[in-house]
Amino acid sequence: MTQVLLTIGSRGSPLALAQSKITRQLLAAKLNLSEAQAEQQLPIRTFTTSGDTLQDRCLVDAGGKGLFTKELELALATGEIDLAVHSMKDVPTQLPDGLRLAGMLPREDPREALIAGSVANISDLPKNPIIGTASVRRQAQILHLRPDAKIVLLRGNVGTRLRRLAEGKFDATFLALAGLNRLGQSDAASGIIETSQMLPSPAQGAVGLQIRDGDDKTFDMTQGICCQQTQIELTIERAFLTVLDGSCRTPIAALAQLSGFELSFTGEVYLPDGSQKWQRKIKQTLPKTAPLAALLPIAASLGETAGRSITDEAGDLVRFDKP
């Protein structure tokens, strides 16, 4: 009988499965397993989450936080799976008791992809463009750049959104370039939006590995495939999000980039209609000899400082706890 080393939990969408299979491939390479051995010893179980079943309304109207993670976390807590693979931008900043993040895979390209036929730039979209999105961040950013745009709800996985755009229901939509890259569909992008024009969601492009507290076996297995640079970058982004995000109705964008020991960070908060934006930029040289455990609190403090600076200035304007 084949020994199962660990069971991986994944949402059933094509992108989630692609990310889980990438995780399995990395683990298999570390453990010297063939593809056939990996499929048997590192099986993937799929789950339908609450967020997957919502197609007719915005996630914020259904509670927002944790809609793509709760079912996986329950399976993890009860021992059905040993490792949950998440898109980190879906993971709430407060984790359930008994669960922890073992780390993150190396981050993919965090930029936004414009899907708009032959149009490569936001400025070149037609007058009064109809933009399909369910993201409060993208809505605010689009309206900030193009106040003439009409925002229409567009939900579903990557394939669903591309199909509805092809049906001519919208002039454009935006997707995370990371997701298109992982699916091998980057050619669907008509343009790639630089982060200086449209900052991504906090943690966009990153895949997180969640385990049970005290599961040293799974933790040790994952450490050879986790990326410390990504963990540092996401620590500052998620700290910024924690300070600001009284609810998922808040349009928040953030991106940290670590080059050598130089950490740069930009964080933004918008009014939902895009009429006002608050931005903070930080640059910090990290200690060259400090271990990761010492660097993470430094990164978290920088994100918290940036977030508090915005809340001190904007006050109730950026608190959207109620509909």
73 shares its domain with 157: no
The pLDDT value given to residue 322: 45
The pLDDT value given to residue 56: 53
What's the number of domains the chain is made of?
A: 3
pLDDT tens track for 248-296: 678 999 999 999 999 999 999 999 999 999 999 999 999 999 999 999 9
Pairing outcome for strands 207-212 and 99-104: antiparallel
Q: Is residue 200 part of a domain?
A: no
161 shares its domain with 221: no
Active site residue 90: yes
Q: Cα(280)–Cα(98) distance, rounded to whole angstroms?
A: 34
130 shares its domain with 149: yes
pLDDT band of residue 158 (cuts 50, 70, 90) is confident
Q: Is residue 39 part of a domain?
A: yes
44 shares its domain with 55: yes
Q: Residue 323 belongs to what domain range?
A: 228-323
96 shares its domain with 211: yes
DSSP code string of 42-69: S-EEEE--HHHH--SS-GGGGT-TTTTT
Bigger pLDDT: 322 vs 10: 10
pLDDT tens track for 264-274: 999 999 999 99
Q: Cα(37)–Cα(4) distance, rounded to whole angstroms?
A: 10
**Quick check: 109 pLDDT over 80?**
yes
Per the residue annotation, which of 90, 109, 171, 245 is the catalytic one?
Answer: 90
| Contact present, 16 and 159 (Cβ < 8 Å) | no
Q: What is the mean pLDDT of residues 54-62?
A: 54
Average model confidence (pLDDT) across the chain: 92
Q: Is residue 189 part of a domain?
A: yes
| Contact present, 80 and 45 (Cβ < 8 Å) | yes
CATH of the domain at 51: 3.40.190.10
**Quick check: 172 pLDDT over 60?**
yes
Q: Is residue 198 part of a domain?
A: no
Q: Is residue 201 part of a domain?
A: no
pTM: predicted TM-score of the whole model, two decimal places: 0.93
| Contact present, 93 and 201 (Cβ < 8 Å) | no
222 shares its domain with 232: no
157 shares its domain with 292: no
Q: Is residue 199 part of a domain?
A: no
| Contact present, 262 and 283 (Cβ < 8 Å) | yes
221 shares its domain with 86: yes
185 shares its domain with 221: no
1 shares its domain with 103: yes
Q: What is the mean pLDDT of residues 169-186?
A: 94
CATH of the domain at 253: 3.30.160.40
Q: Is residue 320 part of a domain?
A: yes
* Alpha-helical regions (H) of the chain: 14-31, 35-41, 50-53, 70-77, 136-145, 158-166, 177-183, 216-223, 228-244, 292-314
pLDDT band of residue 169 (cuts 50, 70, 90) is confident
83 shares its domain with 218: yes
**Quick check: 135 pLDDT over 80?**
yes
- CA dist list (Å): 19 to 67, 127, 183, 240: 18, 37, 9, 25
Q: Cα(320)–Cα(241) distance, rounded to whole angstroms?
A: 14
**Quick check: 59 pLDDT over 60?**
no
210 shares its domain with 318: no
Q: Is residue 180 part of a domain?
A: yes
**Quick check: 190 pLDDT over 70?**
yes
**Quick check: 106 pLDDT over 70?**
yes
pLDDT band of residue 323 (cuts 50, 70, 90) is very low
